[in-house]
Amino acid sequence: MKIGIVCYPTFGGSGVVATELGKALAKVGHQIHFITYSQPTRLDFFNENLFYHEVDIRTYPLFVYPPYELALASKMVDVVKYEKLDLLHVHYAIPHASAAYMARQILKTENINIPVVTTLHGTDITLVGKDASYAPVVTFSINASDGITAVSEDLKKDTYEHFNIIKEIEVIPNFIDLERFKKQKKEHFKKAICPDDEKLLVHTSNFRKVKRVDDVIKIFYNLRKEIPAKLLLVGDGPERNNIEALCRELGTCDDVRFLGKLEAVEEVLSVADLFIMPSEKESFGLAALEAMACEVPVISTNAGGLPELNIDGKTGFLCKVGDVEDMTQKALYILDKDNLPRFKEAALSRAKEFEVSRIMPLYETMYDRILATQEKFQAS
Ligand code: GMT
């Protein structure tokens, strides 16, 4: 199959899922064409089945806001036509689903029928999409897709509750490449960060408000009063300065390290004892799955789709959003030497249920079904 994948190329979870999906599909022989405004971060290798098409965004003195959606739709038309794509799979509804609709209508005028699959990832529904300034277009373009997937049951429910969606949404969860995300021997790294065998906590995110990184600092502050510990923060984003200020205010700076947008996150996770995800909203929690694959238990909130991943009392704990005290107590419980080994084991075994080889075929099956329906329709 020749598949066009449209996504955000930056560090967000939707871009990671889209890129990893493309790589996995390419490995089993599909030809994958990424269409984005810059090379996806995780597109770190090439094989004969992987292609990258850059969206050319032209500015003009009249454009205070260059019309990205139009440039993207035009690029989609071009790639579908000249690469003879069978299907477009767009990740994150805004503006990818509506750009795909526009591209499809243009292609129809040339008798080219290109089916579109839209994957909903989270904030495209739970935050941005719900906003009245986008909602009508989001609703329309989701309904116009030939296949719709959501990354959790919770996101599917939320989508039906807030938008008038008349089509079936299939849940296909996030997945993990266990060959990359596995506990590696990095004792020297652990020794450098935790010279006195302190417990190591890790948080990775894009430091947006919704991630509540300040709660991570507060949990760490409380926990450090009880046991020696260090905290590594991976990622960057709008809240970074506020978080640094909070560290200073609480006097935790010496034990907190900001690692920035680190690519080899699995190396950090390999030495971690506990992962903290105190998000206000989280449709799935890919970063938590990556941690679990590296045998790291998770303290998370019970928001969104997190209970579909993190099993309370087994792979970690689920706490109410903002309940820093509960999260601290549960963190101390997990880190106890009598409890940690079983939490680590359970985290890995849960992560195995989301191995890429189990999840990727669900997308393939959906593509096959859509193409078969289209063929039937064209024949009649
Ligand atoms: O908010 C982010 O972490 C980025 C965001 C995105 O769409 O780029 O991630 C969302 O998609 C991920 C992949 O499907 C999910 O694992 C994340 O839970 C989800 N984030 C939120 O819902 C906040």
Q: Dihedral sign, CA of 92, 94, 95, 101?
A: positive
Residue 132, pLDDT > 90, answer no
* Per-residue pLDDT, 278: 98
What is the atom index within ligand 1 of the atom nearest the CA of 205? 3
Q: Is the shortest distance between the CB of 119 and ligand 1 below 6 Å?
A: no
Q: Give the integer Cα–Cα distance in Å for 119 and 122.
A: 10
Question: Can you list the alpha helix ranges (DSSP code H) found in 227-354?
Answer: 240-250, 265-269, 286-293, 324-335, 340-352
Is residue 45 scored above 80 in pLDDT? no
Element (H, E) at 7: none
Q: Is the pTM of this model over 0.85?
A: yes
Mean pLDDT of 121-143: 87
Q: Which of 123, 205, 308 is the pocket-test mutation for ligand 1 (most atoms within 8 Å of CB)?
A: 123
pLDDT, tens digit, 9 for 90 and up, residues 326-363? 999 999 999 999 999 999 999 999 999 999 999 999 99
**Is 14's C-beta closer than 6 angstroms to any atom of ligand 1?**
yes
User: For residue 131, what pLDDT band results from cuts at 50, 70 and 90?
Assistant: confident
Q: Burial of 208 by CB count in 10 Å (0-12 exposed, 13-18 middle, 19+ buried)?
A: middle
Per the listing, tokens 């990205």 go with 68
pLDDT at 11: 63
- Average pLDDT of the chain is 95
Phi, psi (deg, nearest 5) at residue 172: -130, 110
Average pLDDT over residues 247-270: 94
CA-based radius of gyration for the chain: 22
CA of 108 to the centre of ligand 1 (A): 33
Residue 110: C-alpha distances to residues 80, 107, 247, 354, 375 (Å): 12, 5, 59, 41, 17
For residue 281, the CA-to-ligand 1 centroid distance in Å is 9
Kindly list the structural domains of the chain, giving each domain's residue range(s) and its CATH number in brackets, ordered by start. 2-175+356-379 (3.40.50.2000), 187-352 (3.40.50.2000)
> Which class for 61: exposed (0-12), middle (13-18), buried (19 or more C-beta within 10 A)?
exposed
What is the 174 CA–ligand 1 centroid distance (Å)?
Answer: 10
Alpha helical stretches, state H, 152-306: 153-162, 187-193, 213-226, 240-250, 265-269, 286-293
Reported as a single tens digit per residue, the pLDDT across 300-314 is 999 999 999 999 999
Output the CA 286–ligand 1 centroid distance in Å: 7
